Amino acid sequence: MNAGLRHVFLASLARRRLATALSLLAIALGVALGLAVQLIHGAALDEFGRGMRLVAGEADLQVMGPRTGFDDALYVLLAQRPEVADASPILEVEASLPQRDDSLRVFGVDALRVRRVQPALMPVPEAEVAGEFGIFAADGVFLSPAAQAALGPGTGGTLAVLAGPREEHLRILGSVPGAGRGQRLAVMDIAAAQRLFDQVGRVTRIDLRLAQGVDRAAAIERLRPLLPPGVELLAPEAAASQVAGLSRAYRVNLTMLAAIALLTGGFLVFSTQLLSVVRRRQELALLRALGLDRRTLLRGLLAEGALLGFVGGLVGVALGYALSALAFSIVGADLGAGYFEGVEPGLRFEPLATAVYLVLGVAAGVAGAWLPAREASRVAPARALRASDDVEVLRARPRGPAALASLGLALLLCLLPPLGGIPVFGYAAIALILAGSVLVLPAVVRLAMRALDGGRFVLLRLAHARLAAAPGQVVVAGAGVVASVALAAAMAIMVSSFRTSVDDWLSDVLPADLYLRASSSGASAFLTPEVIAQVAATPGVSSVQPVRFDTLRLDEAQFPVTLIARPVAEGAPVPLVEGDAASVRGADGLPPAWVSEAMADLFRLAVGDTLSLPFGGAPHRFRVAGVWRDYARQHGAVLVELADYRALTNDSRSNNVAIRVAPGVQAETVAAALQAQFVGRNFELAAPGEIRATTLAVFDRTFLVTYLMEAVAILIGLFGVSTSFAALATARRKEFGMLRHLGLTRRDIGRLLALEGALGAAVGVAVGLAAGGAVALVLVEVVNRQSFHWSMDIRLPLAALAAFAVTLVLLAAVAARLSGYQAMRQSAVLAVREDW
């Protein structure tokens, strides 16, 4: 493109500064959000993967079992096998830290073996502190640099951890320099760890290096028969990918939101470019008449879009990195969703992701410019040179069949299962619904205008006549509104349904008056039967229900499921969606088990099926008695009667105890009595209200990103209304001049514009709300169900939606009125004279 043409095309962007700035902003926001999601999760996953590799070290295979581990005799057996060159036993414990909410991963290792298999976990004693045999010290611990930084005391200090009900003080004898910066962990001698955490005779993992010439598949085949049930032999990559898989659906969800923001940006480019082309119609026709060929014109207009996209992309990339840095420092690497605990990833420059999002920005710009450019290049110059031809391009062609086809296809796609755990077809259905709702818009406008009688008010009749004659105007202004309203409404409905369902679910799972907790379910502290008895004997306590948590590895391909053992038939109700909680053994004598929806989905279980659960290294058969709703464990959970669990395992510990207070006694009184009784014991006492508040706070934090996206979508929609009216108003100067001559005041024309804006937006909002409802249905029934395996009850936030719709219509009116301001400033005489 030569300098002259560059001036003609690209400089036009500079002339309509507001529209350009808004398009830029929309693309920048889309790019920024998408890139930030990518960067944050990329970094978190990398660090997590690095952690897994670090811990796996040079291991070829890993033997893994439930969280509470398995018999360490297996280590002795495996270490002697000819297939195994080196075996390194590990007892991994999530150690609770007193007076702190977080826990610390403690690895009990054999320092003489870890050196050969997982060198990064090698403890390095500080000579002056550790003394002789420091790496074996019974009360010694070695901290990774990140743990040392996070926990404060350095080498030579002491670290307090909770082991069961006790608080133990360990001497910090050195560091684990191989762990790197991002890993918060501690290492100690395996024998010391077994004893400290009351796990003598148990390990949680054995890492194997295979002998030379033994391949993995052969080794798995020969070693697997030696493993007890519930213990699996995995390649280290498999373990890492299970973790990555767990958060994948969440990541895809966020990426989709970013893609939608980008798409809306594209819409905005489309509407501003279309109107810019309309406004420059004569100018472009003149260029054609002066000898500019059709393809150069097309290229010039596309270059405008590309430039918008590129600059927007650049701004977006910068913004994306800034957002990521902010997110790392405020919410953490998982955007608040809790997938990546114990890792502290750092922000890095990702050339590939950056380039991809920059290209996506450019693509959005070019795609938005494509239709208007084609339109402009196709028009015959002679026709376009005629002045009052504006309306032609705004005449929306009805696209009924296409709209119906895309909506129908969306319906069909909802019936398809997910691909690789990702609801691909669900997302496609959402895209089709959005496209269909935009396509259906002209028909709806026509219908609406037919139904709407102008009545007696002049302005209303004028607006009505305008919109009925040029429905394309509504389409252009409304397309953005439809898309953004649909998305915002869908999100609002989904989040409201979700939040209400979680709230109901919390009432179901937290029926007691008080909860005494040894630690979060994964960590090292627990309650002994003596403590439970003490609680039960406290005056004012009417009943207690202990709960035990563990994890079970049912399938090498799946992430371990959570086991919950508590009184069921006589205990708190279960939020069942299917089956019943009556704890009767069937004719087959199998004990009952209740599986969560996720577990039912992942392991294809239905009520009445038998289920084999490995307890204490032996398989035990259960009958699936019900399916319950669980929003806490996306990888699946199974509930069994505590009595059954204890009979099969002899494990009498518990993690929590739910306490019911006798009638007429204040929960606070009992809480105070318990607090006094267990002073200094590091038990947490919580009322259901607090637990509910914390849980909902976590919920809201998780959806923080969603709210942000929603706001962006609405902002973009309003930009669309405002830019299209600004451009249209400019194009309609002659019309306004005429109206002024016919006696309308400047204020009247302002009102006319506001009315048109409100009417157009109202149609857009109505279509958007309908589409939003459909999208919400897909989100709840397909996307959530397939991504996270949980169901929820649809709850329409009617008041909020109505307020939202009215606000949006009013804002659109204001936007239209403000946008037309410039056009109305002109004198009526001049405006009309333009034609002559």
Partner 1 sequence: MRAYFAAALLCLGSGLPAAPPAPSGSNNESDPPGYPPVVAGRPLQFPADHGAHPDYRTEWWYVTGWVTDEDGVERGFQVTFFRVRTRIGEDNPSRFAPRQLILAHAAVADPAEGRLLHAERGERALDPLAGAATGHTRAWIGEWALEWSQDHYRASVDADSFAYDLRFDPAGPPLPNGQDGFSQKAPDPRHASYYYSRPQLGVSGTLRVRGKTHRVTGHAWLDHEWSSAYLPEKARGWDWIGINLADGGALMAFRMRTATGEATWTAGTLRRGNEPARALAPAQVTFIPGRRWRSPRTGTEYPVEWQLDIDGRRLQLQPLMDDQELDSRRTTGAVYWEGAVRLVENGREIGRGYLEMTGYGERLRM
Listed residue (722, 801, 715, 804) closest to 760, CA to CA: 722
- Residue 136's closest CA among 155, 158, 108, 165? 108
Closer of 112 and 402 to partner 1 (Cβ) = 112
Instruction: Give whichever of 73 and 802 is closer to partner 1, judged by the CB atom.
Output: 73
Residue 309: CB minimum distance to partner 1, A: 55
User: If phi over 0 gives left and psi between -120 and 50 gives alpha, with beta otherwise, what is residue 624?
Assistant: beta
Smallest gap from Cβ 55 to partner 1, in A, equals 18
CB of 68 to partner 1, least distance (A): 16
Closer residue to partner 1 in complex, CB, 79/356:
79
Give the HSE-up count for residue 829: Cα atoms under 13 Å, Cβ half-sphere: 0
- Is residue 148 within 8 A of residue 158, CB to CB? The reply is no
Question: CB burial class (10 A; 0-12, 13-18, 19+) of residue 537?
Answer: exposed
Evaluate whether 510 touches 574 at the Cβ level (below 8 Å): no
DSSP 422: B
List beta partners, residue 169: 160
Provide the 8-state DSSP code for 336.
T
| Shortest reach from residue 657's CB to partner 1, in Å | 29
Interatomic CA distance for residues 388 and 773, integer angstroms: 41
Please count the residues of the chain.
Answer: 836
Task: With beta carbons less than 8 A apart as the criterion, state whether 683 and 516 touch.
Answer: yes
- Measured distance CA(111)–CA(89) in Å, rounded: 10
CB of 152 to partner 1, least distance (A): 23
State the nearest-atom distance from the C-beta of 235 to partner 1, in Å: 25
Residue among 417, 415, 411 at smallest CA distance from 436: 411
Residue (163 or 752) nearer to partner 1, CB: 163
Dihedral of CA atoms 830, 831, 835, 836 in degrees, nearest 10, equals -20
Shortest separation between residue 72's beta carbon and partner 1, angstroms: 6
Query: Using CA atoms, how far apart are residues 810 and 718, in angstroms rounded to an integer?
Result: 11
In what helix (H) or strand (E) does residue 628 lie, and over which residues does it extend? strand 618-628
**Using the 8-state DSSP alphabet, how is residue 558 labeled?**
S
Min. distance of Cβ 215 from partner 1 in angstroms? 20
Nearest distance in Å: CB 352, partner 1? 38
d(CA 644, CA 611): 14
Note the residues at the interface with partner 1 (CB under 8 A): 72, 76, 79-80, 89, 110-113, 115, 122, 124-125, 127, 130, 132-138, 189-192, 194-195, 200-201
At its nearest, how many Å lie between partner 1 and the CB of residue 197? 11
Find all residues with CB under 8 Å of 118, minimum gap 6, and list them. Answer: 54, 55, 56, 57, 58, 59, 88, 90, 109, 207
Shortest reach from residue 233's CB to partner 1, in Å: 20
User: Which residues, 6+ apart, have CB-to-CB distance to 360 below 8 Å?
Assistant: 30, 31, 34, 262, 313
Question: Which residue type occupies 425?
Answer: F
Smaller CB distance to partner 1: residue 137 or 516?
137
CB of 149 to partner 1, least distance (A): 20
Query: Among candidates 197, 68, 44, 187, which has minimal Cα distance to 121?
Result: 187
The smaller minimum CB distance to partner 1, of residues 110 and 756, is found at 110
- Give dist(CA 792, CA 212) in Å, integer: 53
Neighbouring CB atoms inside 10 A of 802's CB total: 11
Helices (H), 703-784: 704-731, 733-741, 746-778
Q: Which is nearer to partner 1, 122 or 506 (CB)?
A: 122
Report how many helices (DSSP H) and strands (DSSP E) the chain contains, helices first.
Answer: 30, 22
Given the complex with partner 1, which of 200 and 829 has the nearer CB atom?
200
In terms of CB distance, is 133 or 457 closer to partner 1? 133
What is the distance between the terminal CA atoms of the chain, rounded to a whole angstrom? 34
Strand partners, 660: 543
Pairing of strands 592-596, 618-628: parallel
Nearest distance in Å: CB 92, partner 1 = 14
Minimum CB distance to partner 1 smaller for 89 or for 626 = 89
Residue (of 770, 677, 743, 736) closest to 440 by Cα position: 770
The smaller minimum CB distance to partner 1, of residues 138 and 353, is found at 138
- How would you class 531 by CB atoms within 10 Å of its CB: exposed for 0-12, middle for 13-18, buried for 19 or more? buried
- For CA atoms 387, 388, 390, 395, give the dihedral sign: negative
Of the pair 193, 774, the CB lying nearest partner 1 is at: 193
CB of 107 to partner 1, least distance (A): 13
C-beta of 125: minimal distance to partner 1 in Å? Answer: 5
| Cβ distance to partner 1 smaller for residue 5 or 138 | 138
Residue with smaller CB distance to partner 1, 188 or 639: 188
| Residue placing its CB nearer to partner 1 in the complex, 100 or 166 | 166
Closest CA to 824 of 758, 736, 738: 736
**Least distance to partner 1, CB of residue 85, Å:** 10
Burial bucket for residue 280 (CB in 10 Å: 0-12, 13-18, 19+): buried
CB nearer to partner 1: pick between 214 and 708 = 214
Cα(396)–Cα(247) distance, rounded to whole angstroms?
A: 44
Alpha helices in 520-589 (DSSP H): 529-537
Compute the least distance from the CB of residue 521 to partner 1, in Å: 25
Shortest Å distance, C-beta 184 to partner 1: 22
Q: Closer to partner 1 by CB, 127 or 537: give it.
A: 127
Q: Please, which residue, 82 or 743, has the CB nearer to partner 1?
A: 82
Whole-angstrom distance, CA of residue 698 vs CA of residue 694: 6
